[in-house]
Each structure stands twice: as structure tokens, then as C-alpha cells.
Structure 1
Amino acid sequence: MTTDNIRQKLEATFQPDLIEIIDQSAAHAGHAGNQGGGHFYVTLVSTAFDGKSLVQRHQLVYQALGDMMKDEIHALGINALTPTENSKGNS
């Protein structure tokens, strides 16, 4: 299952404090341009994002998912936070 594969790759790469994956594929089935991959939204909290810009964080996630971005994932929303950023948002 794609969600499980995403989780395994992201956990192995980032050892996140928090990982949440939402499969939004059903809401996008059949729209123009969708060649079959799923739509997902990922929230990751990891120290791996310390000192990284938003673009760098997204690039790290794309690299971790590798070839999944070509076939299994059509669209990916990313919320990549450091533990400090996450704790500020939850106070």
C-alpha cells in the first residue's frame, strides 16, 4: 500500500517525532492530468529540518520518496517542521 511505503521511507530517513499521512486520493480521482498516482498530505516533525529552508525541507522529502514521486504519488502536500516549531504551534 502506498501510504505504508511513504511512512516506511520517511521514518527511515527522518526518524520523525511525529508523522501523519493523509490520503486524499479519492477526492481527486479522474481529474485532468492525474495519470494514476495518489494525492497525499504529509506532516513531519524532525530534527533533520533544523537550519533548513522550506525549499530544502521539501527537497529532502522528495529525495526520501525517490521513485515514488514518478508513479505512485501524483501530488504531495508537505508540512515539515522542527520539534521547536511544532511545540510553538501547539502551545
Structure 2
Amino acid sequence: MPVQQSIESRLANAFPGDHLVVENESHRHNVPPNSETHFKVTLVSPAFEGRNRVKRHQAIYSELSAELQGGVHALALHLYTPDEWQARQQQSPDSPNCLGGNGK
């Protein structure tokens, strides 16, 4: 199963919610074509109610432990409650451009 599909499936099952987008951003980085190493996750779920940002991230890392040990290099997480998502006008931030690993 492709890594992106595995991430989507695991998160959809573990965190039922209103909105889930998993974007493969590997093409924006210095990796071979068709890589699955860099992902951006936007997830809106009532499961995040009462959890601070660290606890939300820990819950995701726990759920995706196999993927994180299997070659995923970067995982940008944008995790919201339904009210927070509405307040953000249903938009997650854009990812920054890759600096190519040398800071330039």
C-alpha cells in the first residue's frame, strides 16, 4: 500500500472527523521522483477537543509509528477542532519552500 494511502486510512479510522487531507509534498524536496517522504496532514476532529498541540501531535505520531519508522522524513501537522477550523476559515497554512538542505 502506498504510504500516503496508509496515512490516510490510519488517520481516518483513528480520528473520525470533518476534514482530512494528506498531501505528498515530496516533489517539493530534493528526493528521487515518486518519493513518499514528506507529507502535510490537515485533520479536523472533535477528538482534539481539550488537547493541547503537543498532545495532538503525540496522538498522531503514535498512530503513524510504522510510517514514521519506514521512511517518512517529514510530517507537517495541522490539527484542529471543528471550532478552530471554522475560525481559520477552513484553511491550513501553506508549506514553506524547501531550502535544499543547505539553508539557501
Q: Shorter-chain TM-score: what band?
A: 0.7 to 0.9
Structure 1 Cα separation of the partners of residues 83 and 53 of structure 2: 15
Bigger RCO (CA 8 Å, 6+ sep):
1
What is the aligned residue count? 87
Taking only aligned residues, the RMSD between alpha carbons, in angstroms, comes to: 1.9
Give the Å deviation of 1:37: 5.6
Give the Å deviation of 1:72: 3.3
Ranges in structure 1 where 5+ consecutive residues have no aligned partner? 31-35
Structure 2 Cα separation of the partners of residues 90 and 77 of structure 1: 19
Structure 2 Cα separation of the partners of residues 20 and 3 of structure 1: 10
Runs of at least 4 residues off by over 6 Å = none
* Letter of the structure 2 residue corresponding to residue 38 of structure 1: T
What's 1:2 paired with? Answer: 3
What's 1:20 paired with? Answer: 21
Task: Judging by fraction of residues, say which structure has more helix.
Answer: 1
Task: Judging by fraction of residues, say which structure has more strand.
Answer: 1
What's 2:53 paired with? Answer: 54
- Worse overlay, 36-45 or 70-79: 36-45
Q: TM-score w.r.t. structure 2 length?
A: 0.76
Percent identity reads: 33
